């Protein structure tokens, strides 16, 4: 059973390491090197998956050690795989040392881009709001002038219940008023309504911006700390391998 356990440990370790390396290579397919968000997503993915090769190497080295205890001559076998297994921790150490600052730099660049997109959306909403109010104001002025310019029409419409009860009092003040007074009334009400909607747009902008900042900050802290832990882990393995004498290779 011991030889089988040794082979199983090495096989499982090899599969774990290769599965992550395949994912790493696949993430580079169609890479957008000029897009900060691609760097953020890719570095996060690499660091999130970085623990798996660490576990895989632990399995492989455990199986390799067990195989050597069972058969000291096995040290001369599978030299290529053994050499790769000893070099890989050092390579991964360098990768994660680079991944952390790359993630930090591009995370804040990506945040700035996302905040700018939110600002552009707000500008578009405000422009659409301006156009909407311009058309609504002109239409309402025309309707009110017709309503008060036609004798008896206002009383008829009021009696039919077509005017909301909370607006009857305000509209009654316009009876007999000149058109300029009607224009001022419409402009004032439109300004108040527009101010309310602009406040809602601004509140929504602040909500989205704060959400983006919290998301980026949380992800950046998590990814950076995990990356540092991976550097320590792989660096420790690399240092242990380098300290081994050639007689133990």
8 A C-beta contact, residue 207 and residue 121: no
Angle ∠(20,25,31) on CA atoms, nearest 5: 135
The whole-model pTM stands at: 0.77
pLDDT digits (tens, 9 = 90+) for 134-176: 888 888 888 887 777 777 776 777 777 777 776 767 777 767 6
Write the burial class of residue 28 (CB in 10 Å: 0-12 exposed, 13-18 middle, 19+ buried).
exposed
Q: Tokens for 61?
A: 């080295």
pLDDT of residue 192: 87
Asked if pLDDT for residue 247 goes beyond 60, the answer is no
- Higher pLDDT among residues 234 and 6, named by residue: 234
Instruction: Return the biggest CA–CA distance within the chain.
Output: 113
Q: What is the mean pLDDT of residues 173-182?
A: 75
Identify which has the larger pLDDT, 82 or 213: 213
CA-based angle 79:85:88, to the nearest 5?
A: 135
Whether the per-residue pLDDT at 91 is higher than 90: the answer is yes
Lookup: tokens for 189: 């009400």
pLDDT at 44: 94
pLDDT category at 75 given cuts 50, 70, 90 is low
Lowest-confidence segment of 10-14, 58-62, 73-77, 141-145 by average pLDDT: 73-77
**Angstrom distance (rounded) from CA 199 to CA 203:** 6
Check: CB of residue 125 under 8 Å from CB of residue 201.
yes
54 touches 230 (CB < 8 A)? yes
Q: What's the pLDDT at 76?
A: 57
Q: What are the start-end ranges of the E strands in 99-217?
A: none
Element (H, E) at 118: helix 79-149
**What is the chain's mean pLDDT, rounded?**
86
Q: At residue 28, does pLDDT exceed 50?
A: yes
Given this model, what pLDDT does residue 72 score? 66
Interacting residues of 3 by C-beta distance below 8 A, sequence separation 6+: 67, 70, 71
Please give the pLDDT value at position 249: 47
Taking CA atoms, 242 is separated from 86, 111, 246, 249, in Å, by 9, 40, 9, 10
pLDDT of 236 above 90: yes
Mean pLDDT of 224-247: 87
Domain range annotation of the chain: 1-244
Please tell me the predicted confidence (pLDDT) of residue 25: 94
Of 82 and 94, the structure prediction assigns the larger pLDDT to 94
- Residue 237: burial class (beta carbons within 10 Å; 0-12, 13-18, 19+): buried
């Amino acid at each position: 059973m011991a030889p089988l356990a040794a082979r199983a440990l090495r096989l499982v370790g090899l599969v774990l390491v290769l599965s992550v390396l395949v994912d790493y290579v696949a993430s580079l397919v169609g890479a957008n090197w000029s897009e900060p968000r691609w760097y953020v997503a890719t570095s996060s993915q690499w660091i999130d998956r970085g623990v798996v090769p660490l576990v895989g190497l632990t399995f492989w080295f455990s199986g390799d050690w067990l195989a050597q205890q069972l058969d000291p001559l096995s040290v001369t076998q599978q030299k290529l795989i053994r050499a790769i297994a000893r070099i890989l921790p050092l390579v991964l150490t360098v990768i994660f040392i680079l991944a952390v600052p790359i993630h930090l730099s591009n995370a804040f660049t990506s945040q700035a881009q996302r905040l700018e997109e939110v600002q552009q959306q707000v500008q578009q909403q405000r422009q659409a709001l301006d156009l909407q109010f311009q058309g609504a104001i002109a239409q309402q002025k025309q309707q009110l002038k017709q309503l008060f310019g036609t004798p008896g029409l206002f009383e008829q419409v009021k009696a039919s219940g077509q005017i909301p009860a909370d607006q009857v009092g305000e509209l009654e003040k316009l009876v007999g008023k000149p058109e300029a007074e009607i224009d001022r009334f419409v402009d004032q009400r439109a300004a108040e309504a527009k101010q309310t909607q602009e406040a809602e747009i601004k509140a929504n902008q602040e909500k989205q911006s704060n959400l983006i900042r919290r998301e980026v900050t949380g992800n950046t802290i998590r990814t950076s700390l995990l990356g540092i832990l991976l550097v320590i882990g792989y660096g420790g393995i690399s240092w242990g391998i380098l300290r081994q004498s050639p007689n133990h290779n």
